[in-house]
Structure 1
Amino acid sequence: MFELHHLTAHEQWDWLRRGEATPTEFVDHYLARIDLLDGDVGAFVTVTPEAAHDRAAALEAAGRSTAPLWGLTSADKDLSDRAGVPTWSGSRLFGGRVPRASSEIVDVLDEAGAVSLGKTATPEFGLTGYTETTIGPPTRNPYDVALGAGGSSGGAAAAVAAGMLPFAPGSDGGGSIRIPAAACGLVGLKPSRGRVPAQSGATSLGGLSVGGPIARTVADAALLLDAMISPDGLPPRHHHALRAPESPDGAYLGTAVRGEGRFQLAVMTTSPWDDAFDIEIDPRIATVLRDTADLLATMGHGVDETTMPESDYPRLFKTLWQAGAAGIPADTPEEFARLEPITAWLVARGREIGARELAATLAGLTGFERAVIDRFDAFDAVMTPTLALMPRPVGWHDPVDPERNFEQQCLYSPFTSFVNVAGLPAITLPVAEVDGLPVGVQLIGRPGREDVLLALGAQLERRLRWQRRHPAGW
C-alpha cells in the first residue's frame, strides 16, 4: 500500500511545487509515523508538533516559494540549538537547557523552507560512533532493533531509515554521518572542509567537523546539500565557503540527477589504524566491495588499487580527539560525575595535553593530510568499505572501559576519521543487503569534488535501485 513516506524527498518536493500535497499533509503524516514507531527506535529526543504545525501553516499562508526545501519536513541534530527547544547534546550535564537563539545551520534550513519536527538523538556531545546515552533509550537500527543505528548522527539516520523523515541534516567529525548512514542503509555525504558555510569545520579543532546530508537517495542528499550551502540559491555569503571551489556542474541536485561521467577509481582495504589494532574486514563486506568494484568496471570506469601512506596517525588522532573534548564545561566534581565514562576519560586526558604537544599533533596531522591527498591524487575517487564490521548490537561498545571503547570504535569504522583529517569529501552508498542487513561502500573524492561522488552514486543507484528499499515491516 502506498504511503507518503514512500516518496523520496525529491518526489515530495515535486508534489509540493505542483500543489498535489501541502506542507501540513506531510507534517501530519510524519508526526503520525513518529508517534507510531519511535518508541521502538529512539530516533528523537524531542518532538515539536505544535511548532511544526505553526510553521507549515505559515508557509502555506505565504504561498509556494522558490526556497529550495519549501514545505519539506526535517529535524535538527541535538547538537544544534533551536530557540525555545531543549538542547541535550546527549548529556545529563546540560539537563536540557533551552537556548534563546538558534545555531546557524538551523537558521539556514529554516531560510531554505524546511519544517522541523524536533531534535534527533546523538551520543554525548557527538563524541562516539554509536548513539546510546544516559538521557534516554538507545537509538536502534530499523533493520534490526537489536542492533545500534551508529553515530553520532544516529537519530537522524534511524529516523530516515524508518520513514519518520524524508532526509535529515547531520554533522561529521570522524564518520558521524557515514557510520549511521551505512548501518541504516542510507546515503550519507560528508562534504569537503569549507563546503557548507554554517558547518565549515573552521571552528572545529583540526577542522574535523562539517555538516552534511543523510538521505535515502543520491538526489535527496544533493537537494539537502544544496540548501545547506545556499538556502536562497545564491552564491554562499560566508567567506569560509570559498575554501572549496564551486562545482563545475552547478547545483548538486542537477549533478545527481544526471549522473554523468567516466572516472578513474581505486579500491583500498588498508586503513591508518592497521598497525594499532587488529583491523579485520567482515568477509561479507569484502565481497560487497569487490562486487561493487567489478560493477563499476563494467560501467566503463577505470578501477585500480591503492593503499594508505605510512604515518603515526593513530597516536595523532587519539591526541586530537582527546584535546577536542577538553573544553566540555564540566568543571566541578559534581559536573564531572554527570559525564559518561568515555566522555570523562576524553575530557581528563584532553586537559593533560600541553600546548607544545597539541601544536606538534596538529602539525603531524597536516603532514598526514598532505600525504593522503598526494597518494589519492591519481584517482577521481577512492573506494573503501564504509564500515569494517556489520552493524553492532546495542550495548556492544564497552560502557566502562574507555580504552576498550575507543578500540572498538576503531575496529568498527577504521575508514572514516582519516577523511575528516584530510578535509576530503566522502559519500557512503547502500549498495547491498547481506543477511537482511545493509552494507555500504565509501567513495572518497578529491578536495571540493562532491560532484564526482554524486555522479558516481547516481550511476550506481540507477543500477542497484536502492531508492525503493525499506527495512522489512517499516
Structure 2
Amino acid sequence: MRPADLSVPDLAAAVAAGTVSAREAVLDALGAIDAHDEVLNAVVAVDRDGALAAADDIDQQVVDGTPLPPYAGVPMLVKDLSNARGLPTTFGTASMASFAPPFDDHTVSRMREAGFVVVGKTNVPELGSLPWTEPTLHGPARNPWAPDRTPGGSSGGAAAAVAAGYMAAAHGSDGGGSLRIPAACCGVVGLKPSRGRVSHAPLFGDQVMGYVTQGSIGRRVVDAAALLDAIQGYASGDPYHLPTPDRPFVEEVATDPGRLRVGVLPSVPWSLPDADVADAVAATAGRLEDLGHIVEPVRVSIPADVPDRFTRIWAASLAANPIPQDRLEPHNRAFAATGEAMSAPALLRDFTALQLVARSVVTAFEGHDVVLAPVTSRPALRIGELDDLSHDDLLAEVARWIGPCPLVNVTGQPAISLPVARTGAGLPVGVQLVGRPADEATVLRLAGQLEQVIGWADHRPDPTGWTLPAEG
C-alpha cells in the first residue's frame, strides 16, 4: 500500500509511529506527480528540495522523540490562488508568472504548523473566475476519470490531484462552487466551510463581498475534515469570527448523526439537472430515508436573477484587481469591463438584494438540519466545450451548469460535495449537503454516514487511461 492510500489521520499516525517515514510519504507524492502530471497537468509548481528537507526534519523529530503536530509528514498541495513561500504564486495569469512571495498566507502557515509538508501548487483558471481549469498560462488540467474532460474549477488541479492519488487531501477555495464543482467532477469530497471559519489573512479581510472561503478536498470525508481542522480559526482583524468548534471536525465524521430532518432542493430556477444528476439526488434521498432520516421537500422561493446579480459582483471584484485589463484573458477582460462600468450604487443594490435572498433562503432551510441538492446540472464538461461562445452566452451556460452552488456562497452556509454516483460512461456525479450556518459538524456526521453506505473511496480512476486525447 502506498502512503497516499492511507487517510490523512492514518498516515500521520504511521509517521509518528515510525512505520512510514515522512520522506517516504513525500517521495511517494512526488513520484505520482512525476509519473502522471504530464497528462493531468494538475500541479503547476513543485518544491522538491523544500518538501524533502521538511520531511527529513520531521523524521529526525520522530527519532528524537520530539512531540509532533497532528499531521506531521502528510504531503499537501496548495491552490495557486494562495501564497506559499518557496513557490511561485501565479493566480493562473501570465502577468504574475514570475511572482514568488516571501511569505505564507495564514492558511498555508496553519497547514505547516499542523505538520503538513507543502510539496507544490495546483492549477487554477486565471484569477479563479471560471468553473473549469484551462488557463492560458499553464494549459488545461485534466480529469483523471476522462482526460478529455475538465476536472472543474477553480480548484480543478486540487481535485484532479486527489482523484489521481497523488495524496489524500489538497487545499482549495470556494467562491461560487470552486471546491464543490471540482469534487463532483472528479469523484472526491469537497468541503466548503461556513463564512468566517477560515481566515483570509494577511492580505484580505474577506474576498468578493464575503462569498469566498478557503476549504479542503479529500478522497474521504475524514481527509477533508482533517485539513479543515488545521486551517480553521480566527486571525486578528478578520471581519467575521466564528466560535471554535467544540471538538475537532475529524471526530464528527464517525459520530452518529442521529435522526435528521433532511430537506431536498432538486433544482433552482436557472438550472435544471439532467437525468444523471436528478437520479443521483433521488437515490441519495432514498438512502437517507433508509438510514432513518426524515426526507422532505424544501419550500423556498428563490429569485431567478440570483446568477445575474452574483456575476455582476464578481465582475466588480475582477475590475478592482491590480492587474491591467489588457493583460487578462478575454473572458476576464470582459468581466472586468463590466465591473468597471458599474456604479457604486448599482453594486450595492446587487449586494443588498442578495443579502435579502440569503435571509429568506437560510430562514427556509432552518426547518431542516441539512439540505440535499445537486452540485452541477450535468457531469464534467469536455475541455474547451464552451470556448466559441460569446461572453454573455458563456455566462448563461455557466449559470445553468453550476446550479445552486453560488447560492450557498451568498448565504455563507457550510456545504460538502459527495461523489455518490457515476454515469453509464463512468463519469462521477456529486450531490451536496448544505448545513445550517456554522454547523459543519452535522454536515460531516451525515456525510460520514453516507460514505459508509456508498464507499466511494474504493472507486479510483484507471491510470492506464491517462493519455492525452488526440488533437482534433
Which band: TM-score by shorter chain? over 0.9
Q: 258, 261, 266: which is aligned to 1:261?
A: 258
Aligned to 2:25: 26
- Whether contact under 8 Å (1:172, 1:211) holds in the other structure is yes
Look up the equivalent residue of 1:375 and give its one-letter code.
A
Q: 409, 415, 423: which is aligned to 1:426?
A: 415
Aligned to 2:242: 244
Question: Within 5 Å, which residues of 2 pair with 1:288-367?
Answer: 288-311=280-303, 312-331=305-324, 336-367=325-356
Q: 386, 391, 398: which is aligned to 1:397?
A: 386
Q: 103, 115, 118: which is aligned to 2:117?
A: 115
Change (3 A) 1:390 1:48: same
- CA-CA distance at 1:209 after TM superposition: 0.5
Aligned to 1:233: none
Unaligned 5+ runs, structure 1 = 231-235
Look up the equivalent residue of 2:414 and give its one-letter code.
P
- Whether contact under 8 Å (2:200, 2:206) holds in the other structure is no
Aligned to 2:228: 225
Instruction: Give the whole-Å Cα distance in 1 for the aligned partners of 2:19 and 2:235.
Output: 33
Change (3 A) 1:137 1:205: closer
Aligned to 2:70: 68
Instruction: Give the whole-Å Cα distance in 2 for the aligned partners of 1:135 and 1:239.
Output: 34
Q: 281, 293, 318: which is aligned to 2:273?
A: 281
Instruction: Give the whole-Å Cα distance in 1 for the aligned partners of 2:231 and 2:125.
Output: 23
- Whether contact under 8 Å (2:373, 2:433) holds in the other structure is yes
- CA-CA distance at 1:399 after TM superposition: 5.5
Aligned to 1:155: 157
Instruction: Give the whole-Å Cα distance in 1 for the aligned partners of 2:80 and 2:174.
Output: 13
Look up the equivalent residue of 2:311 and give its one-letter code.
K
Instruction: Give the whole-Å Cα distance in 2 for the aligned partners of 1:376 and 1:473.
Output: 41
- CA-CA distance at 1:62 after TM superposition: 3.2
- Whether contact under 8 Å (1:388, 1:411) holds in the other structure is yes
The TM-score, its normalising length taken from structure 1, stands at 0.93
Tell me the alpha carbon deviations over residues 145-187 of structure 1, each in whole angstroms, 9 at most, x when there is no partner.
0110000000000000001122001010000000001100011
Please say which of residues 13-22 and 381-390 is displaced more in the overlay: 13-22
Residue 462 (structure 1) aligned with residue 452 (structure 2):
yes
Give the root-mean-square deviation of aligned CA atoms: 1.8
- Whether contact under 8 Å (1:108, 1:198) holds in the other structure is no
- Whether contact under 8 Å (2:272, 2:403) holds in the other structure is no
Change (3 A) 1:407 1:44: same
Q: 368, 387, 405: which is aligned to 2:376?
A: 387
Instruction: Give the whole-Å Cα distance in 1 for the aligned partners of 2:168 and 2:125.
Output: 22
- CA-CA distance at 1:28 after TM superposition: 0.7
- CA-CA distance at 1:205 after TM superposition: 2.7
Change (3 A) 1:241 1:161: farther
- Whether contact under 8 Å (2:184, 2:419) holds in the other structure is yes
Which ranges of 4 or more aligned residues in structure 1 deviate by more than 6 Å? none
- Whether contact under 8 Å (1:427, 1:442) holds in the other structure is yes
- Whether contact under 8 Å (1:195, 1:243) holds in the other structure is yes
- CA-CA distance at 1:322 after TM superposition: 0.8
- CA-CA distance at 1:4 after TM superposition: 2.8
- Whether contact under 8 Å (1:78, 1:90) holds in the other structure is yes
Change (3 A) 1:241 1:221: farther
Look up the equivalent residue of 2:387 and give its one-letter code.
D
- CA-CA distance at 1:84 after TM superposition: 3.4
- CA-CA distance at 1:305 after TM superposition: 0.4
Instruction: Give the whole-Å Cα distance in 2 for the aligned partners of 1:368 and 1:423.
Output: 12
- Whether contact under 8 Å (2:267, 2:273) holds in the other structure is no
SS across alignment from 2:331: helix
Please say which of residues 362-371 and 98-107 is displaced more in the overlay: 98-107
Q: 200, 203, 206: which is aligned to 2:206?
A: 203
Aligned to 1:5: 4
Count of residues paired in the alignment: 458
Instruction: Give the whole-Å Cα distance in 2 for the aligned partners of 1:340 and 1:317.
Output: 21
Aligned to 2:218: 215
- CA-CA distance at 1:220 after TM superposition: 1.0
- Whether contact under 8 Å (1:199, 1:209) holds in the other structure is no
SS across alignment from 1:140: coil
Change (3 A) 1:387 1:199: farther
Change (3 A) 1:399 1:59: farther
Change (3 A) 1:199 1:181: farther
- Whether contact under 8 Å (2:141, 2:150) holds in the other structure is yes
Unaligned 5+ runs, structure 2 = 465-472
The TM-score, its normalising length taken from structure 2, stands at 0.93
- Whether contact under 8 Å (2:189, 2:224) holds in the other structure is yes
Q: Could you tell me the percent identity over the aligned residues?
A: 35
- CA-CA distance at 1:397 after TM superposition: 2.4
SS across alignment from 2:96: coil
Instruction: Give the whole-Å Cα distance in 1 for the aligned partners of 2:236 and 2:421.
Output: 38
Change (3 A) 1:294 1:143: same
Instruction: Give the whole-Å Cα distance in 1 for the aligned partners of 2:260 and 2:244.
Output: 19
Please say which of residues 92-101 and 462-471 is displaced more in the overlay: 92-101
- CA-CA distance at 1:56 after TM superposition: 0.8
- Whether contact under 8 Å (1:342, 1:401) holds in the other structure is no
